[in-house]
Structures are given as C-alpha cells and as structure tokens.
Amino acid sequence: MHTASAKILVVDDDTAIRNLIVRFLRQKKYEVESAENGQVAIKKFEQFNPDLVILDVNLPDALGYNLCEEMQKSTDVFILMLTSRSDAADKKEGFLKGADDYLTKPFDLQELEYRVKAILKRQRTVTSSEKQPITYDNLIIDPVRREVKINETFIMLTALEFDLLHFLASRPGRVWRREELIQNVWDYEYVGDQRVVDVHIGQIRKKIELDASEPSYIQTVRGVGYKFEVEAEVL
C-alpha cells in the first residue's frame, strides 16, 4: 500500500489542532477521520479500521496511553502519540503501551508529515523468505499470524515488541547496537533517546523469559547492544 492511500484517525480534544491536522493530511491525499474524545475514538476506530492513529495523551474522558493499549490488543495499528508533555517518563509510558512514535506540541506540520511517512513505511508485513515460523525449543514466533507462543501458550506482545523480537530472532548470534536496531526495526532515523530500545527489550523479556533478570533468549552485550542467542543444551 502506498503511504498516501493510508487511513489515519486523528484523536484530539482541541478543535483547532484536530481540524488543522485533518486538513493538512487530506491535502497530502490521506483518508482521514477524527474524534474529539476517547468514546468517539473507539467507535471510529472500529468502523474506520485505520492504519495509523494520531492520538492525544490528554482527552476529557480517557488517557491516550490506555486507548493506545486497547487499540493494539486486536490489531497491528500504528500509534503516534501527540502531547504537550515532553518529560522522559511520559514518553517511556507511551512506548510501554505500544506507541510507535511521540510528537510534542507545539509541532511543525512538516515534521508531522515526516513522522507519519516514516511510520507508515514500516508496514508490518513480511517477505516470502521471512514467512516461516521461527522455533527455538518451546518458543515459536509466527511472522504471518504475528503470534508468539511459549509452551503452546500465546504471549501478548505489542506490535513494536513483536517487530523487535522477530528481527532479533531471525538473525541469531548477531550483535546489534541500539542505533542499528532503531534504523532496522523503527525503519527510520529515530530522533530521541536510544534507551527506548532498552524499554522494549525489558518488556519483551518480562513476557517471554522465566527470569527477566537472567534472560535465555535476548542477551545483553555490555557496551555494545543486544543479540538473540539460545544456548545449546549440553548432552
């Protein structure tokens, strides 16, 4: 799908900002719907089935972080958080809930367009050579169904967590620096704190490891970055 044909849902309680974004994106040939609160956003989300949601954090009836989490429970939708908050803790909260990117108000419309294009370029699809499930002992990663199972139990990952785990698991033994993971998984030059990678790795470990403090899948290579490596059993 060409990015300009993508469907975008804009959720912001500020009428002026919401209308400005909607008009701008429609000029760029995107299909756009909007919502002024959480209740309307969920209804529009289910009807419109957007590719990307531009989501304000502070809504009159909901917290954007919670909406982000709810929207990604059953879909692979992209989420761009839009907020007046610039605190690192707030950004971390957004990423923990599955957000793909974070834009702080006030913002330049050209920057918004850049972020939207960059996110949509990622397209959560796989090539034919990457369609085979990846299996390590009791861990199964299915890139077509975008499912992860451990001992036949489904593990709930956010879309971005799945992308990161699949990228590492499909290239076992290779050590990746944080900036390399951002370039390959985020698929653009992320402008921000590279510790966002650590946040996502930490969340994945909590979900797939028996002991997140002693991971058996995603290993930390001190001073460098991360690698996916399963130690062979000693016979």
Write out pLDDT tens, residues 54-87. Answer: 999 989 999 998 999 889 877 878 999 887 766 6
Give yes or no: residues 77 and 143 share one domain. Answer: no
Mean pLDDT of all residues in 181-207: 81
Give yes or no: residues 36 and 96 share one domain. Answer: yes
From the list 57, 54, 56, the residue with the least C-alpha distance to 10 is: 54
Residue 28 lies in a domain: yes
CA distance 58 to 123: 27
From the list 173, 213, 177, the residue with the least C-alpha distance to 197 is: 177
Residue 225 amino acid letter: G
pLDDT interval class at 230 (50, 70, 90): confident
Give yes or no: residues 136 and 185 share one domain. Answer: yes
Residue 24 lies in a domain: yes
From the list 130, 110, 92, 115, the residue with the least C-alpha distance to 187 is: 115
Mean pLDDT of all residues in 175-193: 78
Residue 108 lies in a domain: yes
CA distance 69 to 95: 10
Q: How many domains does the chain have?
A: 2
Residue 234 lies in a domain: no
43 has pLDDT over 50: yes
Q: How far is CA 66 from the centre of its chain?
A: 14
Give yes or no: residues 137 and 88 share one domain. Answer: no
CATH of the domain at 47: 3.40.50.2300
pLDDT of residue 144: 78
Query: What strands, in cross-sheet order, belong to the sheet with 147-150?
Result: 134-136, 139-142, 147-150, 153-155
Residue 235 lies in a domain: no
- Of 61, 86, 121, the residue at which a domain comes to its end is 121
- Is pTM beyond 0.75 here? no
Distances 99 to 76, 224, 233 between C-alpha atoms, Å: 11, 25, 37
Give yes or no: residues 144 and 218 share one domain. Answer: yes
Does residue 76 or residue 197 have the better pLDDT? 197
From the list 108, 96, 28, the residue with the least C-alpha distance to 68 is: 96
Mean pLDDT of all residues in 188-194: 62
pLDDT of residue 69: 87
Q: Which two tokens stand for residue 21?
A: 């974004």
Report whether 64 contacts 56 (CB < 8 A).
yes
Residue 158 amino acid letter: T
CA distance 134 to 230: 12
Give yes or no: residues 112 and 137 share one domain. Answer: no
> SS3 of 60, please?
coil
Give yes or no: residues 77 and 136 share one domain. Answer: no
- Of 121, 141, 165, the residue at which a domain comes to its end is 121
Residue 233 lies in a domain: no
In the chain, % of residues over pLDDT 70: 86
| Domain extent at residue 183 | 128-228
Report whether 8 contacts 116 (CB < 8 A).
yes
In the chain, % of residues over pLDDT 90: 47
The lowest-confidence range among 16-25, 96-105, 154-163 is 96-105
pLDDT of residue 124: 52
CA distance 17 to 11: 10
Residue 62 lies in a domain: yes
pLDDT of residue 141: 93
Average pLDDT of the chain? 85
Give yes or no: residues 184 and 115 share one domain. Answer: no
CATH of the domain at 212: 1.10.10.10
- Of 90, 121, 152, the residue at which a domain comes to its end is 121
Q: What angle do CA 97, 99, 104 make, to 5 degrees?
A: 115
Give yes or no: residues 134 and 209 share one domain. Answer: yes
Mean pLDDT of all residues in 209-215: 89
